[in-house]
């Protein structure tokens, strides 16, 4: 399973790279705004900086919601760096644009997926990734992980090459369950990735080992 970090924060991205387990980055307009990145030039330059830090796919989202605008923005993003994946919302013109990008060899990530039907449409249009939002479904009392299971099963039934990128992954149990279900990728904040390090018995056991070593080597 690939680990992507879901942030536009360069420090967090660098820290995940240094841990040695990062396969890519996802961003969205909200995450860019959170970092105070404003204006097209600043946004483009920020994406380039991210691509220079990470050796892997970097999802950069279009803002346009009409076909021509999505194509224009997506092509400009794809020209920035070979690692850019054009992130396109699950809307009618988005599906059409994904088909266009797929025929041009431009990688895409279809975002804001909340049903298996939406994932199926995106896969048929040739999306490289679909991003079902696990946490946001849980937020409204639905079952985000059940959606991951459905999409994994459907793609496997037909051998679709589209990868299931579990997004809105909020905590360690989400990540582990996505792995059990066979998601190809999870994207989450840094604290979820580093959260995998922790267990109280690991800390306690290490403290005991070090104390015993100190006793006999005093
Ligand atoms: O990748 C999508 C993600 O950024 C949404 O996460 O926690 O805002 O639902 P969240």
Q: Kindly report, residue by residue over 74-98, the tens digit of the pLDDT.
A: 999 999 999 999 999 999 999 999 9
Q: Looking at residues 178-198, what average pLDDT do you find?
A: 98
The structural domains of the chain, ordered by start, are 2-217 (3.20.20.70)
pLDDT of residue 58: 98
Residue 103, judged by CB atoms within 10 A of its CB (0-12, 13-18, 19+), counts as exposed
The rounded Cα 56 to chain-centroid distance in angstroms is 11
Which residues are identified as catalytic? Answer: 87
Portion of the chain with pLDDT greater than 90, in percent: 100
Residue 133 CB less than 6 A away from ligand 1: yes
Residue 218 has pLDDT above 90, yes or no: no
Residue ID of nearest Cα to ligand 1 atom 7: 168
* Nearest CA among 120, 122, 101 for reference residue 111: 122
Nearest partner of 31 among 1, 49, 5, judged by Cα: 5
111-159 tens-digit pLDDT = 999 999 999 999 999 999 999 999 999 999 999 999 999 999 999 999 9
Looking from the CA of residue 26, the nearest atom of ligand 1 is 1
pLDDT (mean) for 20-47: 96
Output phi, psi for 14, to 5 deg. -60, -40
Q: Which atom of ligand 1 is nearest to the CA of 187?
A: 1
CA of 170 to the centre of ligand 1 (A): 8
Look over the chain and give the mean of its residue pLDDT values, rounded to a whole number. Answer: 98
Residues whose CB falls within 8 Å of the CB of residue 213, separated by 6 or more in sequence, listed in order: none
Average pLDDT over residues 170-187: 98
The pLDDT of residue 136: 98
pLDDT (mean) for 150-176: 98
- 26 within ligand 1 shell (Cβ under 6 A): yes
pTM: 0.96
The reported pLDDT for the residue numbered 143 is 98
**How far apart, in whole angstroms, are the C-alpha atoms of residue 49 and residue 81?**
10
């Amino acid at each position: 399973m690939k680990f992507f970090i879901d942030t536009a924060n360069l420090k967090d991205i660098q820290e995940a790279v240094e841990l040695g387990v990062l396969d890519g980055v996802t961003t969205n307009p909200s995450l860019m705004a959170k970092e105070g990145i404003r204006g097209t030039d600043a946004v483009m330059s920020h994406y380039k900086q991210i691509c220079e830090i990470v050796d892997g796919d970097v999802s950069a989202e279009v803002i346009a919601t009409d076909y021509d605008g999505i194509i224009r923005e997506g092509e400009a993003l794809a020209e920035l760096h070979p690692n850019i994946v054009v992130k396109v919302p699950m809307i009618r013109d988005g599906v059409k644009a994904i088909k266009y990008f797929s025929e041009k060899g431009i990688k895409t990530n279809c975002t804001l997926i909340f049903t298996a039907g939406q994932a199926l449409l995106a896969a048929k249009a040739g999306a490289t990734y679909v991003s079902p939002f696990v946490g946001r479904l849980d937020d409204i009392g639905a079952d985000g992980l059940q959606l991951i299971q459905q999409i994994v099963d459907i793609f496997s039934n037909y051998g679709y090459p589209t990868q299931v990128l579990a997004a809105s992954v909020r905590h360690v149990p989400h990540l582990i369950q996505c792995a059990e279900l066979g998601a190809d990728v999870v994207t989450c904040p840094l604290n979820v990735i580093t959260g995998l390090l922790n267990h109280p018995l690991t800390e306690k056991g290490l403290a005991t080992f070090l104390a015993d070593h100190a006793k006999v080597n005093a």
